[in-house]
Amino acid sequence: MKLRYLPLLALAVASCSHGDKPAATAASDARFDAFKNRFIEALWRQNPDFASSQDYHKYDSLQVIPDAAQRRRDAAFTQQYLAALGKFSLDSLSPNNQIDLRLLRNELRAERWYADTLQNWQWNPAGYNLGATVGDLLNGRYFPLDRRLRNISDKISHAAEFYAAARANLSSPTREHTQLAIKQNTGGLAVFGSALADSVQKSGLSAVEKKTLTDRIAATRQAVQGYLDFLQKQVLPAGKFRSFRIGKDLFDQKFAYDIQSHFTAAEIYQQALKHKAELLHDMGQRAARLYPKYFPGQKAPADTLALITAVVNQLTLKHAPREGFVDAVKRQIPTLVAFVNEHKLLTQDPSKPLVVRETPLYMRGSGTGASVSAPGPYDKGANTYYNVEPIPAEWTPAQAESYLREYNDYTLQILNIHEAIPGHYTQLVYANRSPSLVKSIFSNGAMVEGWAVYAERMMLENGYGKNSDEMWLLWDKWNMRVTLNSIIDRAIQVDNMSENDVVTMLRRDGFQEEAEARGKWLRATLSQVQLSSYFSGYTEIYALREEIKKKQGKNFNLKAFHEEFLSYGSAPVKYIRELMLRK
C-alpha cells in the first residue's frame, strides 16, 4: 500500500476572534501532533517498503505479500484512521496542521480509490519487483552491512509467496506494463548476483547465516525467473491485454488526486494550449535574431516553424560525446552551486551529498532519462543520487546522436538545473527540514516538479547563460516540452491520440529529436497524469511569486521568497500560497 494523493478541499483558516482561541488551538495542535506520530508509526508497520523509501528502517526485514488478504487489511487500516481523523475539527487547529489534517485524510481516501477504482494492482505487472527493494537496502548506509544482510535475508525468504501473489493478481494487464516488468525484473535479477554474493562473503555473518542467505538468494532468483517466464511465455503469447489508456473519468479523478490544483484537468489542458502559442511566438523572435549569426548571407525561411527548426538544429550540434554523457553531467554541478551562491538565490547546504551516478538497471526502461533519488526525513544526511541513464549500448549511432542532440550542451545545463541545483535536489533538502513529517512524507508531485521547472526559468532570469538568445531559445524549447507533456498526457489517455500523431506533434511543435519523442510516447503509455504535474505546478508557483512581488513592491526579496516557499515542505502550491499570503 503506497499511499497516493487526493485533492484537498479549500483551506479553512481558524478564526482568532475569541480570546481563548490561541490556547485552545495549542491544545488541539498538541493532540493532533501526538496523533500524527501514532499514525505514521502504524503506517510504517503496514507498509514497510514505503517506510524504507523514507529512510525509516525499523521494519526493513518485513515483506508484505500483495494478496487479497493484505488488501483487506489495507482497507481496514484506512477506515480506522479516517474515523480517527474525524475526531479533529479544522477550525480548532493552526493553519499548518489544517494542511496536515487534509493531507492525511485525503491520502487515506486516495488509497482506497487506487485500490478499489483504478485497480492498477491488477493490470501493472511492473508493480512487482523485489530487486528494486533489495537493491536499495543493499546500497544503503543506515545500518552496518551485517544487519542489512540479515534484513535482506528475512525479506527475501518470502520471495516465492510475493511473486505467487503477483501472478494471481494479474488480470488483463497492459502490454506496455508487461514489457516494462520484464525489463525491470531482468535488471532486478542483477541485484541477486555477484555484488550481493560478494557482500555475503565479506560480511561478519556466521557460517550458518551465510548459507541460509545464499540459499535464499538462489530461491529468490528462481522466483524472479519464474515471474519472468510467466510474463514472457504465458502473458505475452496469450495477447489478452487491456488498453493502457484509462479514459476521461479515471483521468480526471486521478488528476485531481495527484495534482491537487484548484484547476481541473481540462482547465490545465486549455492553459497549456495557450502557453504553447506564447512560446512559439517567443521562439520565432529569438530564432529570427539568431539566424543571420548561424546562417550568414542566407535568406531566412518565411515559415516560422521552419525558421525555428533551422536554428535549433544548428544549436543542438554541440553536445557531449556518447561515452561521456554521464561525466558531462558531473562536471557541470559545481558551476550551478557557484551561480546560486554568487547571485544569492537561496541558501545551500554543502553538508548534504549529491552523487551523480548511472541509473541502476532495475530503474531503467520507463522512458525517464534522468531522475533524483533523495533521502527521506529520517536520514537527512544520506546521499541524494542524481540518476543519469548512459546511452544504451544497443543503440545505433543514429539513435545515440538523436538523443545527444536532444540533450545538447545548452539543454543539458537546463536539465541539471531541473534535477539538481537549485531544482529537485535543493528542494528536497529543504523539504527534509520541514517540522512537519506529514508534508515531507506525502509530498505533492506537482509542487516538486513545478519547483524544478520554475528553477530553470528563475536561473535564466537572473543571468544564467548570460541572457543569450541561444540559451533562452533552447529553454523555450525545453519549456515547450513541459507544456506539450500536459497536452499529450490528456490527448493520449482521454482522446486516444495515436503514437504517430504524438511523435509528429512533439517533433513539429516541440522541435524534439526522434529518440526523445519516441521515449515520451513510451513514458505516456506507462504513466497517467504525472506528465501534467510539471506545467501545473510551475504555472502556480510562478503566479504566486508574481503576486507576492506585486504585494510587497520594493520590499520583495527573491531569496526570502524562495526560502519561505521551500520551508513548507512539499505541500500543494495552493496551500503554501494560503500561508504566504496571510502575512
pLDDT in tens, 180-223: 999 999 999 999 999 899 999 999 999 999 999 999 999 999 99
pLDDT range class, residue 18, cuts 50, 70, 90? very low
Chain mean position to CA 231: 27
Which of 16-20, 408-412, 432-436 has the lowest average pLDDT?
16-20
Q: What is the pLDDT of residues 332-382, one digit of tens each?
A: 999 999 999 999 999 998 888 888 888 888 777 665 678 888 777 787 777
CA–CA–CA angle 410, 411, 412 (5° rounding): 95
As a whole number of angstroms, the distance between CA 263 and CA 269 comes to: 10
Neighbour count for residue 292 (Cβ, 10 Å): 11
Question: How much is the pLDDT for 367?
Answer: 58
Q: CB pairs under 8 A, 24+ apart, for 285-294?
A: 286/311, 286/469, 286/472, 286/473, 286/476, 287/311, 287/312, 287/473, 289/469, 290/469, 290/470, 290/473
According to the model, what pLDDT value does residue 11 have? 29
Q: What is the pLDDT of residues 477-516, one digit of tens each?
A: 999 999 999 999 999 999 999 999 999 999 999 998 888 8
pLDDT of residue 368: 65
d(CA 385, CA 363): 13
**For the segment 134-174, what is each residue's pLDDT rounded down to a tens digit?**
998 998 878 999 999 999 999 999 999 999 999 999 999 99
pLDDT score, position 19: 39
pLDDT, greater one: 432 or 179:
179
Collapsing DSSP states into helix, strand and coil, what is residue 171?
coil
**Strand 370-373 and strand 354-358: pairing?**
unpaired
Is the whole-model pTM more than 0.75?
yes
User: How close are the terminal C-alpha atoms of the chain, in Å?
Assistant: 38
Using CB atoms within 10 Å of the CB of residue 439, give its burial: 0 to 12 exposed, 13 to 18 middle, 19+ buried: buried
pLDDT at residue 2, rounded to an integer: 39
Percent of the chain with pLDDT strictly greater than 70:
96
CA-based nearest residue to 403, from 515, 319, 523, 520: 515
Q: What gap in Å lies between CA 301 and CA 310, rounded to an integer?
A: 9
* Residue 536 to residue 447: CA distance in whole angstroms: 9
* Interatomic CA distance for residues 412 and 433, integer angstroms: 29
Sheet holding 354-358: strands in order across?
Answer: 354-358, 384-388, 370-373
Asked whether 541 and 451 are in contact (CB, 8 A), the reply is: yes
Backbone angles phi, psi at 264, to 5 degrees: -80, 170
* pLDDT tens, residue by residue, 47-63: 999 999 888 999 999 99
What pLDDT was estimated at residue 106? Answer: 85
Confidence of residue 8 (pLDDT cuts 50, 70, 90): very low
In whole numbers, what is the pLDDT of the chain averaged over residues? 92
CA 70 distance to own-chain centroid: 26
| Residue 272 in grid coordinates | 497549456
Instruction: Name the one residue in this structure whose C-alpha cell is 492498477.
Output: 120
Q: What gap in Å lies between CA 469 and CA 475, rounded to an integer? A: 10
What is the average per-residue pLDDT within 68-90?
97
Q: With a cut of 50, say whether residue 14 has pLDDT above it.
A: no
pLDDT tens for each residue of 293-316: 999 999 999 999 999 999 999 999
Read off the amino acid at residue 500: N
All three cell numbers of 537, joined, read 505546478
Burial zone of 73 (CB within 10 Å; 0-12 exposed, 13-18 middle, 19+ buried): middle
- Say if residues 372 and 456 touch (Cβ distance below 8 Å): no
β-pair partners for 387 = 357, 371
Going by C-beta distance under 8 Å and a sequence separation of 6 or more, which residues neighbour residue 25?
14, 92, 93, 94
